Amino acid sequence: MEACSISNLKLREFGCEQSLLSRPDGSASFIQGDTSVCAGVYGPAEVKVSKEIYDRATLEVLIQPKVGLAGVRERSQEQCVRETCEASLLLSLHPRSSLTLVLQVIHDDGSLLSCFLNAACMALMDAGLPMSCLFCGVTCAISADGQIVTDPTAAQEKESRALMTFAIDSTERNILMSSTKGSFSVHELQQCIVVSQKASEKMFQFYRDSVKRRYSKYL
Amino acid sequence: MKETPLSNCERDFLLKAIEEKKRLDGRQTYDYRTIKVTFGTDYGCCFVDLGKTRVMAQVSCEIVAPKESRPNEGIVFFNIELSPMASPTFEQGRQSELSVKLNRQLERCLRNSKCIDTESLCVVSGEKVWQIRVDVHVLNHDGNLMDASSIAAITALCHFRRPDVSTQGDEITVYSPEERDPIPLSVYHMPICVSFSFFQQGTYLLVDPCEREERVMDGLLMIAMNKHREICSIQSSGGIMLLKEQVMRCSKIASVKVSEITELVGKALENDRKARKAGEKCGFAESLPQERITALKTDKTPVEAMDVTEKVDDIIQKAEVPPLSVPSPSLPVPGVGQVGQNTWGLDEEEEEEEEGEEDRDSSGEEEEKGTKTQKEKDKDEVVELSDSEEEEVVILHPDT
């Protein structure tokens, strides 16, 4: 059975700033290496009649590319993020209202989808929306020589044979969403899932630290 | 989402404060809010913070065919995107009145003032020119979007580097940044827009209105000027009558503000160039404030992968083994391909059963027919053939 070598896994330096914009109800910017994304959340607010759902809130996710208008790629990413958020948000607490999550690409240097997910979670936390669990995104790439690379850069993504992004929840470390590209074996998929779950521990520790810092009196 | 209406109390309060030469954020009449210019990781990416208003500009380029009327001039394209992130009233994909107004003003300020040398963007006359695209994204709307956008756009244009191109006969080579250093655009001058808002039919004037002030103002005057005190565009909106003296005064104020802002932009560009030359990390990630409690940053973190292999083996062993071999396709009926077993086997059996029942029925019928023939024979004997035959057929299906 083919297996990947999994030595020397690492996440690039990552950082986050919350409440950086004054207008949205919640905002955050998330940085992974050079990749950065800015997120803003509005809601719960008035909903258009056409989009109203009688027993829960309508979640709308918009992704703004850096150059030009949103295309098919952005639409598919929007769907991935929306489904993840819908799985963790307690939407039934705000029936007949709207939540809008806007994600702006600041710089793309690989692992963009996982950065979207992390920024989205941070912004939702900042907006104080009720959630059943937190979530984080981890991207794994399998390089041509069968090495797993976590949090790949754009160059590493380009050289990779397969690329997988998982959204992982904070309570059970279950997979909320997966998006894959390229070909890989079942064994490789399982390996990537386990590696992502390991990496998510680091992310959730970071979430914990940043919330702790936010509600502390001193730096 | 609808805009939250401004209450009469707030409106009166704001106007009263302006009459008393006071502003909500403690500024003087002619004061700008703090301007902060930062750059992104790649060339041509610029962020401008004007107080709480925040915009991002990104310049990109591609080779296109030129306009027929101007065969040896490059094309410069501007687009201000009012992202729904900036304000809940902005909707995606809809050209609002505000966005049309801002786009038009930016075009007049930067394209019509000929601040960029478009002829140097020509690659092959009449065939290929560079198209420079400036995307301005509004991230947070707290008033005076025009000034912030114009500063961001011109700074991004000054910061931008396009790839080097060489032509040899018909062949055009575009060099990557590794092969040859990218070339900056030739910017002749830097027009910067300054907004003035008027209250009480032009009695009071404020520089750099914030969002609240914009909502109670009567009129707006936008003057685009460069540091040589040349007016590049001037626009008055809101329908107020201004006196000649007022316009003159505004242009004087604008010249002072423009020289201040130009100096700031120049310094920011200089700092960035030095940082890039020294090979320092620059970009959005580096501009993350460290001293705020809302921000946190970690260094590169290793992920422990000690028991990953064992865990994976465990999961795979526990998992059900899928059938490895796929049976070859079969043709049950001409024109129907089938792979694997027919999962409708149960139905087939039922059908068979039904068929069996039918068989039994038919055999029963035959038996009955037999009896019938006998009865008919009896009837023949009686010789009484009439309508009663049908009734007898009914009897042939007993309830038992």
Q: Which is more confident, B317 or B123? A: B123
pLDDT tier at B396, thresholds 50, 70, 90: low
Looking at the structure of chain A, the number of domains it has is 1
Domain residue limits at A202: 14-213
Q: Is residue A219 a part of any domain in this protein?
A: no
Q: What is the pLDDT of residue B41?
A: 87
- Is A42's CB within 8 Å of B283's CB? no
Q: What is the pLDDT of residue B399?
A: 57
User: Which of B146, B133, B49 minimizes the C-alpha distance to B103?
Assistant: B146
pLDDT tier at B266, thresholds 50, 70, 90: very high
- Is A107's CB within 8 Å of B58's CB? no
Q: Which of A48-52, B260-264, B342-346 has the lowest mean pLDDT?
A: B342-346
B274-330 residue pLDDT tens: 988 887 776 666 677 777 778 888 888 888 777 787 888 888 888 776 666 666 666
B315 inside 8 A of chain A by CB: yes
Q: What is the pLDDT of residue A88?
A: 95
Q: Is residue A103 a part of any domain in this protein?
A: yes
Q: What is the pLDDT of residue B289?
A: 75
User: Which of B159, B149, B150 minimizes the C-alpha distance to B40?
Assistant: B159
Q: What is the pLDDT of residue B379?
A: 52
**Closest approach of chain B CAs to the CA of A219, in angstroms?**
6
pLDDT tier at B335, thresholds 50, 70, 90: confident
B40 inside 8 A of chain A by CB: yes
Query: Is 80 exceeded by the pLDDT of residue A111?
Result: yes
Residue of B nearest to A31 (CA): B285
**Closest approach of chain A CAs to the CA of B235, in angstroms?**
28
User: Which of B138, B141, B150 minimizes the C-alpha distance to B51?
Assistant: B141
Q: Residues 178-217, chain A: which have Cβ within 8 Å of B?
A: 186-187, 190-191, 194-195, 198-199, 202, 206, 209-210, 213-214, 216
DSSP structure class, residue A122: H
Q: What are phi and psi of A151, to 5 degrees?
A: 50, 60
Residue of A nearest to B313 (CA): A187
Which residues of chain B lie closer than 8 angstroms to A24, CB-CB? 85, 140
Q: What is the pLDDT of residue B311?
A: 82
Which residues of chain A lie closer than 8 angstroms to B87, CB-CB? 23
Residue of A nearest to B291 (CA): A219
pLDDT tier at B269, thresholds 50, 70, 90: very high
Query: Domain segments of chain B: what residues?
Result: 32-276
Which residues of chain B lie closer than 8 angstroms to A12, CB-CB? 300
- Is B303's CB within 8 Å of A219's CB? no
- Is A109's CB within 8 Å of B41's CB? yes
Q: What is the pLDDT of residue B201?
A: 87
Q: What is the pLDDT of residue B314?
A: 84
* Cα A153 to Cα B111: distance, rounded to the nearest angstrom: 37
* Cα B163 to Cα B55: distance, rounded to the nearest angstrom: 26
B318 inside 8 A of chain A by CB: no
Write out the two tokens for B314. 């465990």
Q: Which of A23, A34, A100 lies at the smallest CB-CB distance from B283?
A: A34
Contacts of B153 (CB under 8 A, 6+ apart): B57, B78, B106, B110, B134, B136
Residue with tokens 């690659």: B123
Using a pLDDT cut of 70, give the percent of chain A over it. 98
Q: Residues 277-296, chain B: which have Cβ within 8 Å of A?
A: 283-285, 288-289, 291-296
Query: Is 90 exceeded by the pLDDT of residue B148?
Result: yes
| Fold of the B32-276 domain | Ribosomal Protein S5; domain 2 (3.30.230)
Q: Are B116 and B185 in contact (CB under 8 A)?
A: yes
User: Which of A20, A11, A213, A39 minimizes the C-alpha distance to A121?
Assistant: A39
Q: Which of A16, A23, A104 lies at the smallest CB-CB distance from B137?
A: A104
Q: Is residue A152 a part of any domain in this protein?
A: yes
B337-386 residue pLDDT tens: 766 666 665 555 555 555 555 555 555 455 555 555 555 555 555 555 55
User: Which of B89, B293, B309, B311 is the best residue to mutate to test the A interface, defined by the most A CB atoms within 10 Å of its own CB?
Assistant: B293
Mean pLDDT of chain B: 84
A179-216 residue pLDDT tens: 999 999 988 999 999 999 999 999 999 999 999 998 88
Which residue type, as a one-letter code, is found at position B396? L
A53 inside 8 A of chain B by CB: no
Q: Is residue A95 a part of any domain in this protein?
A: yes
Query: Is 90 exceeded by the pLDDT of residue A78?
Result: yes
B144 inside 8 A of chain A by CB: no
**Closest approach of chain A CAs to the CA of B295, in angstroms?**
4
Q: Which of A12, A18, A191 lies at the smallest CB-CB distance from B312?
A: A191
- Is A195's CB within 8 Å of B305's CB? yes
- Is A214's CB within 8 Å of B140's CB? no
For the domain that residue A120 is a member of, what is the CATH number? Answer: 3.30.230.70
Residue of B nearest to A97 (CA): B1
Q: Is residue A92 a part of any domain in this protein?
A: yes
B32-86 residue pLDDT tens: 999 999 998 889 999 999 999 999 999 999 999 999 999 999 999 999 999 999 9
Q: What is the pLDDT of residue A17?
A: 92
Q: Are B238 and B200 in contact (CB under 8 A)?
A: no
Q: What are phi and psi of B7, to 5 degrees?
A: -70, 155
Which residues of chain B lie closer than 8 angstroms to A97, CB-CB? none
A114-161 residue pLDDT tens: 999 999 999 999 999 999 999 999 999 999 988 999 999 999 999 999
Helix or strand or coil: residue B241?
coil
